[in-house]
């Protein structure tokens, strides 16, 4: 998970366009020429329901009540409500570049929290069924995490009001759980991050809901393959930019006759005692400097989009990021630790 700020200018434009989007997707033949500039090229992205912000629009998330966490659960610094209570805070084990000392207590804790994150991810996936609301998934995930003595990292991070992110269909990332029931044919990414013993573990997967059409299944397949291609580019001494190059090489050719692209708006990140830090992992072609060194731990989390238009916009809530043309997006994420001899996936 990597979080970015709301662009009010773009959001204003898209709020005006949202009714046009609804009209376009409710009919195979738009009834008015005013819809034409919004989608200059017709793409067959399959059959699914488009997620749009509810009307009347509500800006921000202050109206959403966060779930409670028992006082005995250690919190990350951003979630400590009483700023005078700093006794549980620790000094970072990582250096300025986000590298861990291998073979010590920090690595042990990192592996433990990554394993927990994987367990929570798989538990969340078991809840994905037609008719289940994402609020119900969030509530169950919240209870599962705190029952393990951990804290749900998204909760209160820059004001985020829920314990996981649930991103459906055209939502790329940072979807806020709500009372919409999952529908047959949806795809949903559940993004999990947990905080335990002073360290964060982060992972996500896109799940199929009921009978998903072929374009949706192909999207999820190529997303998982893109993540694996990025992982295969990792190792001591390898340039970070090779991750984006490997993903680009995989998705550039048409896949079963369909085009796909990667969102450049969201990156992977270093992770450990801090939720997000260097190194920043770009999933698209780039010339960023830097090489992987033993002790680097980071996420790879490409968001793959149907078609060739990777642009996105943010809902009025300030978090939910959707594709501009309502194409579907899928995302998959693992934590990768660079060792002396290679790269190890901690959330496998």
Residues at the binding site are: 174, 191, 202, 269, 276, 301, 333
Taking the C-alpha atoms of residue 260 and residue 226, their distance in angstroms, rounded to an integer, is 11
Give strand pairing partners of 321. 173, 314
Task: Give the helix, strand, coil percentages of the chain, each rounded to 5.
Answer: 30, 20, 50
Binding region for a divalent metal cation: 191, 202, 269, 301, 333
CA of residue 223 relative to chain centroid, distance = 12
- Residue 268 burial class via C-beta count within 10 angstroms: exposed 0-12, middle 13-18, buried 19 and up: buried
Binding region for substrate: 174, 276
Taking the C-alpha atoms of residue 36 and residue 62, their distance in angstroms, rounded to an integer, is 36
In sequence order, what are the residues at sequence separation of 6 or more whose Cβ sits closer than 8 angstroms to the Cβ of residue 320?
51, 53, 167, 171, 174, 175, 176, 314
Provide DSSP, 75-109: --GGG-SSTT--TT----SS-TT-BPPTTSHHHHH
């Amino acid at each position: 998970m990597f979080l970015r700020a709301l662009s009010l200018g773009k959001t204003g434009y898209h709020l005006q366009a949202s009714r046009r989007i609804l009209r376009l997707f409710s009919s195979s033949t738009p009834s008015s020429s005013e819809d034409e500039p919004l989608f200059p090229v017709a793409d067959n992205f399959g059959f699914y329901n488009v997620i749009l912000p509810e009307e009347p629009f509500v800006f921000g998330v202050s109206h959403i009540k966060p779930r409670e966490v028992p006082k005995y659960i250690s919190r990350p610094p951003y979630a400590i409500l009483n700023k005078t209570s700093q006794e549980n805070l620790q000094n970072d084990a990582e250096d300025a570049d986000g590298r861990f000392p291998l073979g010590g207590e920090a690595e042990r804790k990192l592996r433990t929290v990554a394993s927990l994150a994987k367990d929570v991810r798989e538990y969340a996936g078991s809840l994905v069924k037609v008719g289940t609301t994402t609020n119900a998934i969030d509530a169950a995930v919240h209870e599962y995490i705190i029952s393990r003595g951990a804290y749900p990292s998204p909760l209160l991070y820059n004001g985020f009001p829920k314990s996981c992110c649930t991103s459906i269909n055209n939502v790329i990332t940072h979807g806020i759980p709500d009372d919409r029931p999952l529908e047959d044919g949806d795809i949903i990414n559940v993004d999990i991050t947990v905080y335990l013993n002073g360290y964060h573990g982060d992972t996500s997967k896109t799940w199929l809901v009921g009978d998903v059409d072929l374009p949706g299944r192909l999207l999820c397949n190529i997303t998982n393959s893109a993540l694996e291609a990025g992982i295969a580019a990792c190792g001591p001494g390898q340039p970070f930019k090779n991750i984006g190059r490997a993903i680009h090489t995989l998705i550039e050719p048409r896949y079963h006759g369909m085009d796909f692209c990667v969102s450049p708006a969201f990156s992977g990140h270093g992770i450990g005692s801090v939720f997000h830090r260097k190194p920043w992992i770009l999933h698209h072609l780039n010339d960023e400097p830097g090489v992987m060194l033993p002790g680097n731990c980071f996420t790879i989390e490409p968001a793959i989009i149907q078609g060739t238009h990777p642009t996105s916009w943010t809902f009025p809530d300030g978090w939910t990021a959707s594709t501009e043309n309502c194409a579907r997006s899928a995302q998959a994420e693992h934590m990768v630790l660079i060792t002396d001899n290679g790269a190890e996936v901690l959330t496998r």
